[in-house]
Amino acid sequence: MTDTDEAFWNDPVPSTTPEVRAYITLLRPYLLIITSLFVASVIAGYLAGYFNPGIVEQMMGQFEESYGWIADESPLIIMLFIFANNTLNSFIAMLLGVVFGLWPILFILVNGFFIGVVVFDVAREIGILIVLAALIPHGIIELPMIFISAAIGLRLGYLVFLKLSKKMDVNIKQELFQAIRFFIKVIVPLLFIAALIETFITSAIVYLLIS
């Protein structure tokens, strides 16, 4: 590992440093694209559930089949699973963005559509208030971290395109190091906090509202 590489890993990146703010500034156009795609896909999922109730049963059945087992586990296992799942998916969306940004876009569209279907189904059964209570406490942390991960992936894909098309001389290795370091030092801790909130606070709020 070169001295430059070591500097990337060893330089501390607390969440309040100008470096982090500057990096987020670089991501603004990509965050706008990712956020817009997410909102559009959520609306599409909600409308799909409204006009085609069969898709709700199909998608919820697939979800239950894949993740239904987690409901029988302890809160600690549930929290660790949520954290690991969000972290892994966000990291993959970021890293595979080097393939011209296609994977983070697909990741956001698929997840947004599924959330839209779930929101329609739950709102229909128990009301929009409980849906908001189930999403907002942890979502205000979790969703921005997922959006930022996807935005980083989209930016990496664009930079790879610029390099391959010889429109800009970009150090892709350096960009990857910077992205991974940011992910580890900023995104991972916040995803952990979001998983804690989702498991122990969001669930308690929803339980109280349902009761």
Average pLDDT over residues 12-34: 81
DSSP codes joined into one string, 93-153: HHHGGGTTTHHHHHHHHHHHHHHHHHHHHHHHHH-HHHHHHHHHHHHHHHHHHHHHHHHHH
Q: What is the pLDDT at residue 146?
A: 97
**Mean pLDDT over the full length of the chain:** 89
100-121: average pLDDT: 94
Among 1-10, 70-79, 184-193, top mean pLDDT goes to 184-193
The residue with tokens 């470096």 is 19
* pLDDT of 12: 44
Q: What is the pLDDT of residue 65?
A: 82
pTM (2 decimals)?
A: 0.88
- 141: pLDDT confidence band, cut at 50, 70 and 90? very high
Kindly state the average pLDDT of the residues 98-125. Answer: 93
pLDDT in tens, 3-22: 545 544 455 444 457 788 88
* pLDDT in the model for residue 97: 95
Q: CB–CB of 104/149 below 8 Å?
A: yes
Q: For the chain, what percent of residues have pLDDT higher than 90?
A: 64
Q: What's the confidence (pLDDT) of residue 4?
A: 47
Report the C-alpha gap between 38 and 105 in whole angstroms: 9
